Amino acid sequence: MSRFAKLRTPRRGRTRYIRYNAYRMLLTITTSRAPATDLGWLLHKHPAKVQSFELSFGRAHVFYPEATDDRCTAALLLDADPVGLARANRGTGNELLAQYVNDRPYVASSFLSVAIAQVYGSALAGSCKTRPELAEEPLPLVARITALPCRRGGEPFLRKLFEPLGYDVRATRHPLDEHFPEWGESPYFTVELRATVRLADLLSHLYVLVPVLDDEKHYWVSADEVAKLLKHGEGWLNSHPEKEQIAARYLRRQQKLVRSALAGLASDDATDPDEAAAEHDLAEERLESKVSLHERRLAAVLAELQASGAKRVLDLGCGEGKLLRLLAADARFAEVVGLDASVRSLEIARQRLDRARLPDSARERVKLLHGALAYRDARLNDFDAAAVVEVIEHLDPPRLEAFAAALFGSARPRAVVLTTPNREYNVKFEGLPAGKFRHADHRFEWSRAEFAAWCEGVCARHGYTARLQPLGDTDPQLGGPSQLAVFVRTAG
């Protein structure tokens, strides 16, 4: 069983609790929908593996205590490291002792939200490339969280948060220390939540509500938190009976931020919360060091497209429409056309745009086309710019010249923003055997020199200049994990 010691921090004389056994914050998610091991697809984590992830405040481990056709449980265990916590706290004004002596490493807190976003990011976003229909399906799910602090409100407040969302809530309160019953009850509960919901919804609810219950965030709340609240509260928070309390606690009662969040939530508000959220997402992505490479790549591409001054933009090989969603939210782009060879990806892109609750004007700006990249296509003429994000490596090398002729020779947008992996960086990916590509469908992956040579050839043949840059955290020897080229047309 868990145990907690009572400590008094000198600064504010506040009582804190510290848990000192080997337990750590643990979130398990169980499904009984056969085949239950589909949970592995949804979470993008293989049931047979134990995986560990470095986070800014420690490590997260994902493993499956059970994985059968009838029942499958994925466990997310957080191992917060006090030194990492101190680092995460740097600059927040917290004093040294409070950084080291507190309950943060041991209880479910906003760290759990950070871990959900980083480790289960795709599942949280509701995307599942291999089994997209699964991500949309409400599944019988049980989430179990150990050591969930329910401060100021206890179990009744816990119920008020989760029951309106359709959860059956079971809570067991922990004593502060079972050897010292006179210390009384701790604010910590083991909580079980049961509902038939989409996994993405369950994760969004936890992302927002765990820190709300904890009511004590580990980092200073900045305006970015409003964007996170709006993003993860999308579709449910505005109709939640406790939305004011949720916003107030999530934003640590900073009135200006709370007002801004509530205004963003209100459906009849004149400003468009999704646009604001999308802008904030980007600001946040630039700020956070641990966002996924793909998010950073999309943010970089978006920034280049914005800087190009383009109004009519193509997204060639748009896939499931992540970039389209960002482009749609920016009114500078008067017309946005996504093209892909995969009808299924286009359907998902359409659903994603519908779900984004963009205003009609934004949705009307985006068109989707089914087509192949290696053929001249008059529908692609007269655009100012084209994005080609992680697509060329899916083309057979002999088709690359046809692709370049169709895009740079025939459609001839003024600017082209193109990204592709940097093969040299692959040695840094654990678990990628030497000589293997990152994705089963990649036909090639280029070194920086190979990419530069290809860009040079394209420029010479079609009248463009190109500027190349690395994407992601760069290694001094190997370059960035991905590479980006911005082509600008020089000849008519």
Residues binding ligand SAH (CB under 6 A): 317-319, 322, 340-342, 345, 372-374, 389-391, 394-395
Q: Which residue has the tokens 């059970």?
A: 66
Q: How far is the CB of 377 from ligand SAH (least distance, A)?
A: 10
Considering the complex, state which of residue 169 and residue 389 has its C-beta at the smaller distance from ligand SAH.
389
Closest CA to 418 of 334, 297, 276, 274: 297
Regarding beta strands 58-67 and 51-55, do their DSSP bridges make them parallel or antiparallel, or are they unpaired?
antiparallel
Considering the complex, state which of residue 71 and residue 399 has its C-beta at the smaller distance from ligand SAH.
399
At residue 347's C-alpha, the angle toward residues 341 and 350, to 5°, is: 115
Q: How far is the CB of 353 from ligand SAH (least distance, A)?
A: 14
* C-alpha–C-alpha distance, residues 249 and 245, integer Å: 6
Q: How far is the CB of 345 from ligand SAH (least distance, A)?
A: 4
Q: How far is the CB of 365 from ligand SAH (least distance, A)?
A: 18
Q: How far is the CB of 396 from ligand SAH (least distance, A)?
A: 9
Closest CA to 144 of 119, 160, 168, 178: 168
DSSP class of residue 130 equals S
Q: Is 147 exposed, middle or buried (0-12, 13-18, 19+ CB in 10 A)?
A: buried
Q: How far is the CB of 354 from ligand SAH (least distance, A)?
A: 18
Q: How far is the CB of 299 from ligand SAH (least distance, A)?
A: 12
Considering the complex, state which of residue 322 and residue 365 has its C-beta at the smaller distance from ligand SAH.
322
* Alpha helices for 44-185 (secondary structure H): 82-89, 96-100, 110-119, 121-124, 132-136, 154-162
Residue 201 has a CB neighbour count (10 Å cut-off) of 18
φ, ψ of residue 210 to 5 degrees: the values are -60, -50
Closest CA to 387 of 337, 314, 439, 327: 314
Considering the complex, state which of residue 144 and residue 296 has its C-beta at the smaller distance from ligand SAH.
296
180 Cβ contact partners less than 8 Å away, ≥ 6 residues apart: none
Q: Is 256 exposed, middle or buried (0-12, 13-18, 19+ CB in 10 A)?
A: exposed
Regarding beta strands 312-316 and 335-340, do their DSSP bridges make them parallel or antiparallel, or are they unpaired?
parallel
Considering the complex, state which of residue 112 and residue 339 has its C-beta at the smaller distance from ligand SAH.
339
Considering the complex, state which of residue 83 and residue 432 has its C-beta at the smaller distance from ligand SAH.
432
* C-alpha–C-alpha distance, residues 275 and 303, integer Å: 15
Considering the complex, state which of residue 77 and residue 385 has its C-beta at the smaller distance from ligand SAH.
385
Q: How far is the CB of 296 from ligand SAH (least distance, A)?
A: 12
**CB-nearest residue to ligand SAH:** 319
Residue 489 has a CB neighbour count (10 Å cut-off) of 16
Q: How far is the CB of 481 from ligand SAH (least distance, A)?
A: 14
Considering the complex, state which of residue 221 and residue 368 has its C-beta at the smaller distance from ligand SAH.
368
Q: How far is the CB of 232 from ligand SAH (least distance, A)?
A: 21
Amino acid identity, position 373: L
Considering the complex, state which of residue 240 and residue 322 has its C-beta at the smaller distance from ligand SAH.
322
DSSP class of residue 422 equals B
User: In 241-365, which ranges are E strands?
Assistant: 312-316, 335-340
Residue pair 75/28 in contact (Cβ under 8 Å)? The answer is yes
Considering the complex, state which of residue 216 and residue 295 has its C-beta at the smaller distance from ligand SAH.
295
Rounding to the nearest 10 degrees, give the CA dihedral for residues 173, 178, 181, 184.
-30
Regarding beta strands 366-370 and 4-8, do their DSSP bridges make them parallel or antiparallel, or are they unpaired?
unpaired
Q: How far is the CB of 283 from ligand SAH (least distance, A)?
A: 20
Q: How far is the CB of 387 from ligand SAH (least distance, A)?
A: 7
* C-alpha–C-alpha distance, residues 444 and 436, integer Å: 10
Q: How far is the CB of 349 from ligand SAH (least distance, A)?
A: 9
* C-alpha–C-alpha distance, residues 53 and 33, integer Å: 28
Considering the complex, state which of residue 114 and residue 368 has its C-beta at the smaller distance from ligand SAH.
368
Considering the complex, state which of residue 97 and residue 343 has its C-beta at the smaller distance from ligand SAH.
343
Closest CA to 201 of 168, 225, 175, 167: 167
Residue 273 has a CB neighbour count (10 Å cut-off) of 25
Considering the complex, state which of residue 251 and residue 373 has its C-beta at the smaller distance from ligand SAH.
373
Q: What is the CA radius of gyration of the chain?
A: 24
